[in-house]
A and B are shown apart, each in its own frame.
Chain A
């Protein structure tokens, strides 16, 4: 029982002081930055934290912890008194001390076995440079309990009075007064000294007797005060031998003997019944203001589970009620009330579990500092959004990946000082860690202004098992494998994106759900099965109408892709991914309907005529579309961990019970994509390559931008982009004919058009296509446009344009771009040639 109590107390001690240590670290770093101009507030805060560790460890006989915190405190005291300056060396010593303290707190029982000699020697080394005061402090501290017995002690109080020639004083003492002072806890001293600050003494206690030797100006006092002897000596700046502590019992006894006067005992003021009179209103007002209670995390977790059950029950009840009693206003009100209350409880409990991310952020400056020192790089860390709160479990499990990322940034990202200078960057590397809320998500951004990662290697660093060990870093941009970081973030239900520009730095974006156990989801159906997709993953839902499927969905190799705003989106049929086929017999008798659906989608999406629902999802930097049969509703689902024997099914993140009581699996979209062989990495690499090529081509002087287009005869032409002012889109009907000339209405004027068909094939009629494009040259003297039948495209190329003597003058040369032979036109010559053609025709 007693052991249990002690253990509880010890646990509390550990918890509290671990918190203290957390708070010390950023403060120490701040001290290091400010150097001699260290802020008093910060110093005091650190001092207090260390001090309370020292104080409470003393109670538990944790002598090693106490000794270490004691020297640390002394060093801090020297900072405060201005004896020493908090230079990086000393701060480093303190940080090492903090590490040791943390180590010992983690395993208090074994703390006595930890060796702290290194830390002690180091700090004592600094201290020995200062005066001996501190040493004295240590001894004083040890004997604190018995100090007042030894100091100012006397064998007999009458003898003591005799030493100070105060025997007569005794006769003048009022027993009553002495009793009162003693009862209030004061010590009684005999003092003999010149020039005593009498009025000060009077305000800090009570002078019971005063005798002034007029010749020597020596005051002899009997003085009652709450000050202990060492403090009193300090206060009146006297050595210990000038004051004598009188033993209270003996003094009182002597007074009793001396005086036979009977004194009426006064009631001591300690329990005045009048105090009992209290104002109830005040009590009510003051009660519970700003109080906090420590509650075990396990209780909150259990509560959380129960609330999960409650939410489920509510969802089920809601559904039942809606179907039966929807029109009964009474039931609806009750249901609504239940709804709001449940939501509120859920919200409050979630709030209980929330913790500001600052507690995580505070650990980061130290990390940066240590890596920076080790590599002799200067790094500034800027933290933003410390107040953002997220689930406690998330805060904890975020540390590892975040530490990893920051290490990468310092070790591989930030260049050394000279290099930075030569690049025109600020000397100190800038790392920003930013947290903010965005919808139901927490976004964390970690960016550095270092050297960046080669886009081709981004995919590589995600490859499993990649680490500098397996590939010795000849290239500084090599980073420690990101795979484990990405995995741990995804395990938390988050996404992980990386974006890097060579020479400018790297930005990592992590998106995380606020809480993990109750998440908004979209419920989708495949055949008669239902699945939940966390909304976090979903960017949009696209419905392709019956009849449009052929146009919107294309096939690339074996895979289906969809064109979404000009970008290709790979599609995956959920039924294929999960191997749900039509042989599944529907349990609720709707089998026939589902069979029909599956029949239509059986031969690929392109041929299907029924409408298709595509859920567009974001997986890291990539997007994919998941094709499902039905989309039902959004629902707040309670995540139930997946049972052990289903653990092998990697495509599920968990299960849940829906409002109608059905069990639904929660899809792990990233895992599904992986299982189905979606290789975003390659696609990403391909894209990155393109981007790189593009960037390089921009720098390359020999490469030029061209407008490339073709006419209805599928001849490919290119013109120099420099020579083009504008491209107009016109409908077939908007092209006017006059004789064999074509015109369009361009800014109110008739603009004659040059038809390439006519020029090269002698055609006189326009083919009727939906729309034409008119390329309008910059050279206004030409006053003509080129009629083109296909959407022109802009390209960068440095292909060698070959010229042959046999080709017409208007063509500067030909080249292969992609797989097409492209003729490069000289606009001036082309127009001249067309005019000549007209003349002769």
Chain B
């Protein structure tokens, strides 16, 4: 499965990417703004888009709305990274059929839980012992 991580903060992108890597997913692409992410999404499908809600050019919410209103990509799985302070935006996102949202800051466990809701489970990677450890927590990974 491949992922698209959209955030204007490179630290956040790296973090989310790191967590996905930990789960055993290596195919992670990044974009630093909603508009960039939208274009990437138009190019090819992603298993999941994880986007921050606050971005300077195109916010995560606009990105979501654009995605949902573009027929070719309207069914893309979309998760928003939000903050406590953006409840209204989250509600708006839910209206636009966001598949999930996660509050910053989140732990790896919370992240795992959220992805599990979307049917995304960690995959085993043989040469990474720590993934085994994580995997045991989130259900035994199939080898």
Chain A residues lying within 8 Å of B93, measured Cβ to Cβ, are 226
A357 to chain B, nearest CB (A): 22
Complex CA distance for A286 and B40, rounded to whole angstroms: 9
A282 adjacent to B85 (CB under 8 Å): no
Closest residue to A275 on the B side, CB-wise? B45
Residue B104, interface by CB 8 Å: yes
Chain A residues lying within 8 Å of B75, measured Cβ to Cβ, are 269-270, 272
How many A-B pairs with Cβ below 8 Å?
Answer: 116
Residue B107, interface by CB 8 Å: yes
B101 adjacent to A226 (CB under 8 Å): yes
Partner of B87, one of A77, A234, A276, A283: A234
Interface-facing stretch out of A44-52, A170-178, A803-811? A44-52
A56 adjacent to B43 (CB under 8 Å): no
Complex CA distance for A9 and B11, rounded to whole angstroms: 7
B105 adjacent to A271 (CB under 8 Å): no
Residues from 12 to 41 in B contacting A, C-beta threshold 8 Å: 12, 14-15, 18, 32, 36, 39
B9 adjacent to A56 (CB under 8 Å): yes
Complex CA distance for A9 and B10, rounded to whole angstroms: 9
Complex CA distance for A283 and B39, rounded to whole angstroms: 8
0/1 per residue, A47-64, Cβ < 8 Å to B?
110011011111100000
Residue A325, interface by CB 8 Å: no
Chain A residues lying within 8 Å of B107, measured Cβ to Cβ, are 145
Closest residue to A17 on the B side, CB-wise? B11
B11 adjacent to A58 (CB under 8 Å): no
Residue A738, interface by CB 8 Å: no
B11 adjacent to A12 (CB under 8 Å): yes
B105 adjacent to A185 (CB under 8 Å): no
Complex CA distance for A601 and B68, rounded to whole angstroms: 86
Contacts A231-B91, A235-B91 given; does A226 touch B9 at CB 8 Å:
no
Complex CA distance for A145 and B9, rounded to whole angstroms: 22
Residue B50, interface by CB 8 Å: no
Contacts A9-B18, A270-B76, A278-B42 given; does A55 touch B105 at CB 8 Å:
yes
Closest residue to B71 on the A side, CB-wise? A274
Complex CA distance for A282 and B38, rounded to whole angstroms: 12
B105 adjacent to A58 (CB under 8 Å): yes
A183 adjacent to B91 (CB under 8 Å): no
Total interface residues on B, using CB and 8 Å? 48
Residue A634, interface by CB 8 Å: no
A144 adjacent to B94 (CB under 8 Å): no
The residue in A187, A270, A276, A294 that gathers the most chain B C-beta atoms within 10 A of its C-beta is: A270
Complex CA distance for A51 and B105, rounded to whole angstroms: 10
Partner of B73, one of A225, A275, A282: A275
Residue B109, interface by CB 8 Å: yes
Complex CA distance for A678 and B54, rounded to whole angstroms: 61
A231 adjacent to B10 (CB under 8 Å): no
B94 adjacent to A47 (CB under 8 Å): no
B12 adjacent to A56 (CB under 8 Å): yes
Chain A residues lying within 8 Å of B76, measured Cβ to Cβ, are 270
Complex CA distance for A200 and B85, rounded to whole angstroms: 21
Residue A215, interface by CB 8 Å: no
B103 to chain A, nearest CB (A): 6
B55 to chain A, nearest CB (A): 11
B28 to chain A, nearest CB (A): 14
0/1 per residue, B43-73, Cβ < 8 Å to A?
1110100000010000000000000000011
Chain B residues lying within 8 Å of A723, measured Cβ to Cβ, are none
A276 adjacent to B44 (CB under 8 Å): yes
Contacts A54-B105, A278-B42 given; does A227 touch B14 at CB 8 Å:
no
A contact residues vs B (CB 8 Å cutoff): 2, 5, 9, 12-13, 16-17, 47-48, 51-52, 54-59, 66, 77, 137, 141, 144-145, 183-187, 203-205, 225-228, 231, 234-235, 248, 269-272, 274-278, 282-283, 286, 291-292, 294
* 5 CB < 8 A contacts A-B: A9-B15, A55-B83, A66-B105, A185-B79, A226-B97
